[in-house]
């Protein structure tokens, strides 16, 4: 049918995507998207063909975050779409703009085995679902899907019945101006002068100030302004987990605020009497559910300030403004401070303290995850892109204070494991000239291990570092604390190096951290991807687990 030389609806749909400037698309083909995908590839778009639809959307999420653009993925109808029900809510919560081209079952058939009411499934995740059933309007509808993804910062799934896609296109092909051309141009929002003066008064009256930056501060390039404000208040700096590293070289940055706060940071946060949250939504975990700074008043500087978030009252004082302009206005209106909180002794403590100093008895032959992270911090090149995943091990991996924010990515607002490998692929696609290092747990990596094949086939430059405790660490520590059997969470140490070799990658089992510099050299001189399997003890508990799930005392 498609040999008659006439353009098809899928040709026009692919042109509409190309018109949007789509340079990378993560894809898994089926009847309902393959013709469209072939045409998009022919337009020059780089296609990354993954092995599970979840991974297509998860990779597009990391791509969107790193490229600062809309992430694009494609899946077939029915079972292709049902595979997305973990990735889509994760993208919604992380406010990532995505457009997913999904097929729909044919309209002409009375019965089709892959038929499914896709709209309710997709909208239940918080993503938008657009049915495109009128060919003439499709080019504009595609453009509007990109506009919606950009302005609402969430995934938009486009469903097009594949018999409609195969129809001949009648008439001229006219494409609308792309979304980035018609998007309203907005300048950073300055604060209202009276509000800024009131905020400055509040800051002037506080003694122990912490300036806490979130991803909004990163996006607004408010880092230097935050440092200047913290310096003028004589206070300290901190970031949320996703924004970690924004102040990596500032001696008065206590690191992450939230579940991953290092030991010294916890102490100083307790003393804070004002936290200035900049470009930060004050999600539940950022303040440990309000426990981290029991004495502090909260001032939120944000374009979209809130009183309540994720079930808690988070701030009584607000300055509605672009993060940088708001912070600069406060600093400008602030009188010089006579007695700063910060001093050289604090800087020395922050610099010289271990993130966690607790002692554990561990079996001989196994590594302490904290030593693994310290050794990695010391030996991995500074320009590698880091991806942090989930699970118990992510606490340790987040403690690399010398690494800057622009080299870091984590997306974990939905709390799902299994995404690390996809996020690493998304970062590798967005930064093709860089090496990407993924820090993952054995359980999480195993969940989508098939993507090692995608990584090899596409020649993605990714090093996967597995913190292998032979278990679902989060679960065993919780079960142990409750005195319950742990069988369902313990799997034994599987051989990731052999698995990697089976997929055609290089693989190493690491039992001796002194070998790391050699391993780094070997990897840097080689091509392609590798998996390093660090055998760690399951006896080392992160401070977060110790706080939330105290372990029973040992029998005498
Ligand atoms: C999709 C999904 N399934 C299950 C869980 C529950 N869960 C949270 S952490 C975790 C264990 C992860 O194990 P691993 O990746 O080995 O990291 P570890 O905790 O051992 O460091 C599990 C199963 C989850 N968060 N997401
Ligand atoms: Mg594990």
Q: Is the pLDDT of residue 554 over 90?
A: no
What is the C-alpha R_g of the chain?
25
Three-state DSSP state, 160: strand
Which DSSP string corresponds to 408-439?
A: EE---TT--SS-HHHHHHHHHHH-TTS-EEEE
pLDDT at res. 5: 85
Kindly indicate the confidence band of residue 371, based on its pLDDT and cuts at 50, 70 and 90. very high
Count Cα neighbours of 238 within 13 Å in the Cβ-side half-sphere.
33
Whole-number Å distance, alpha carbon 536 to ligand 1 midpoint, is 16
CA distances from 193 to 17, 96, 278, 302, 376 (A): 43, 32, 18, 15, 47
Give the predicted TM-score (pTM) of the model.
0.97
Distance 325 CA to ligand 1 centre (A): 40
Given a contact cutoff of 8 angstroms between Cβ atoms, the answer to whether 274 and 301 are in contact is no
Atom of ligand 1 nearest to the CA of 394: 21
| Alpha carbon of 382 to ligand 1 centroid (Å) | 28
Cα dist from 339 to 199, 288, 342, 370, 418, whole Å: 20, 29, 9, 36, 48
- The set of protein residues with a Cβ atom below 6 angstroms from ligand 1 is 390-393, 415-418, 441-444, 467, 469, 471-475
**Ranges assigned E (strand) in 11-63:** 24-27, 46-49
Q: What is the pLDDT of residues 301-359, one digit of tens each?
A: 999 999 999 999 999 999 999 999 999 999 999 998 888 999 999 999 999 999 999 99
Q: Mean pLDDT throughout 413-417?
A: 97
Per-residue confidence (pLDDT) for residue 111, from 0 to 100: 95
Q: What pLDDT is stored for residue 555 in this prediction?
A: 57
Cα–Cα distance for residue pair 146/20, rounded to 1 Å: 8
If phi > 0 it is left, if psi is from -120 to 50 it is alpha, else beta; for residue 279 that is left
Residue range 6-42, pLDDT digits in tens: 999 999 999 999 999 999 999 999 999 999 999 999 9
Nearest CA to ligand 1 atom 23: 472
Longest dimension (CA), the chain: 85
Q: Take atom 11 of ligand 1 and give the residue whose Cα is closest.
A: 472
Q: How many Cβ atoms from other residues are within 10 Å of residue 258's Cβ?
A: 25
Count of Cβ atoms closer than 10 Å to residue 400 Cβ? 23
Task: Give the pLDDT confidence of 38-84 residue by residue, as tens digits.
Answer: 999 999 999 999 999 999 999 999 999 999 999 999 999 999 999 99
Q: Which atom of ligand 1 is nearest to the CA of 447?
A: 1
Q: β-strand 24-27 against 46-49: which pairing, if any? A: parallel
Task: Please tell me the chain's helix, strand, coil percentages from 3-state DSSP, rounded to the nearest 5.
Answer: 40, 20, 40
Closest ligand 1 atom to 442 CA: 16
489 CA → ligand 2 middle, Å:
9
Using CA atoms of 381, 383, 388, 393 in order, give the dihedral in degrees to the nearest 10. 20
User: Which pLDDT score is estimated for 552?
Assistant: 82
Closest Cα to residue 93, out of 505, 393, 412, 306? 412
What mean pLDDT is reported for the chain?
96
Q: In angstroms, what is the span from residue 471 Cα to ligand 2's centroid?
A: 4
Residues 6 or more apart whose CB falls under 8 angstroms from that of 456 comprise 503, 504, 505, 528, 529
CB count, 10 Å around CB of 168? 14
Query: Which of 444, 469, 478 most suits a substitution to test ligand 1, by most atoms within 8 Å of the C-beta?
Result: 444
CA of 441 to the centre of ligand 1 (A): 8
* pLDDT higher than threshold 90 for residue 456: yes
């Amino acid at each position: 049918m498609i040999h008659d030389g006439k353009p098809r609806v899928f040709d026009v749909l692919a042109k509409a995507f190309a018109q949007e400037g789509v340079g990378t698309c993560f894809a898994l083909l089926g009847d309902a998207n393959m013709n469209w995908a072939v045409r998009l590839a022919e337009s020059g778009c780089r296609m990354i063909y993954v092995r599970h639809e979840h991974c297509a959307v998860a990779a597009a999420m990391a791509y969107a975050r790193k490229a600062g653009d809309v992430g694009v993925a494609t899946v077939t109808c029915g079972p292709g779409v049902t595979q997305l029900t973990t990735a889509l809510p994760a993208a919604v919560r992380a406010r990532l703009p995505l457009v997913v081209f999904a097929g729909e079952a044919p309209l002409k058939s009375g019965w089709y085995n892959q038929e499914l009411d896709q709209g309710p499934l997709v909208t239940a995740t918080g993503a938008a679902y657009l049915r495109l059933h009128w060919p003439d309007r499709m080019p504009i509808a595609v453009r509007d899907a990109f506009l919606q993804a950009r302005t609402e910062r969430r995934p938009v799934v486009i469903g097009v019945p594949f018999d409609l896609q195969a129809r001949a296109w009648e008439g001229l092909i006219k494409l609308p101006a792309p979304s980035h051309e018609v998007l309203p141009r907005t300048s950073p929002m300055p604060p209202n002068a009276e509000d800024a003066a009131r905020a400055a008064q509040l800051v002037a009256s506080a003694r122990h100030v912490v300036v806490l930056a979130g991803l909004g501060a990163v996006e607004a390039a408010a880092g230097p302004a935050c440092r200047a404000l913290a310096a003028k208040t004589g206070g300290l700096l901190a970031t949320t987990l996703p924004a970690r590293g924004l102040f990596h070289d500032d001696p008065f940055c206590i690191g992450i605020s939230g579940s991953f706060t290092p030991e010294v940071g916890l102490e100083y946060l307790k003393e804070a009497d004002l936290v200035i949250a900049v470009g930060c939504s004050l999600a539940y975990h950022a303040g440990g559910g309000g426990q981290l700074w029991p004495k502090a008043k909260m001032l939120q500087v944000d374009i979209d300030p809130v009183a309540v978030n994720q079930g808690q009252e988070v701030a009584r004082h607000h300055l509605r403004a672009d993060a940088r302009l708001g912070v600069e206005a406060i600093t400008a209106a602030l009188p010089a401070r006579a007695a700063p909180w910060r001093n050289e002794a604090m800087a020395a403590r922050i610099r010289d303290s271990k993130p966690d100093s607790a002692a554990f008895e561990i079996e001989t032959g196994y590594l302490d995850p904290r030593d693994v992270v310290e050794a990695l911090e010391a030996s991995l090149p500074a320009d590698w892109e880091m991806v942090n995943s989930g699970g118990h091990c992510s606490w340790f991996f987040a403690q690399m204070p010398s690494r800057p924010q622009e080299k870091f990515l984590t997306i974990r607002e939905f709390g799902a494991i299994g995404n690390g490998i996809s996020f690493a692929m998304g970062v590798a696609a967005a930064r093709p000239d860089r090496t990407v290092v993924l820090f993952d747990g054995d359980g999480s990596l195993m969940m989508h291990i098939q993507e090692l094949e995608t990584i090899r086939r596409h020649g993605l430059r990714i090093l996967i570092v597995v913190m292998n405790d032979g278990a679902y660490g989060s679960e065993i520590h919780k079960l142990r604390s409750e005195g319950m059997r742990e069988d369902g969470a313990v799997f034994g140490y599987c051989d990731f190096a052999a698995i990697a070799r089976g997929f055609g990658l290089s693989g190493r089992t690491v039992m001796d951290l002194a070998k790391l510099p050699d391993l780094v050299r070997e990897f840097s001189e080689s091509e392609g991807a590798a998996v390093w399997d660090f055998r760690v003890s399951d006896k080392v508990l992160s401070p977060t687990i110790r706080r939330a799930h105290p372990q029973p005392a040992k029998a005498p």
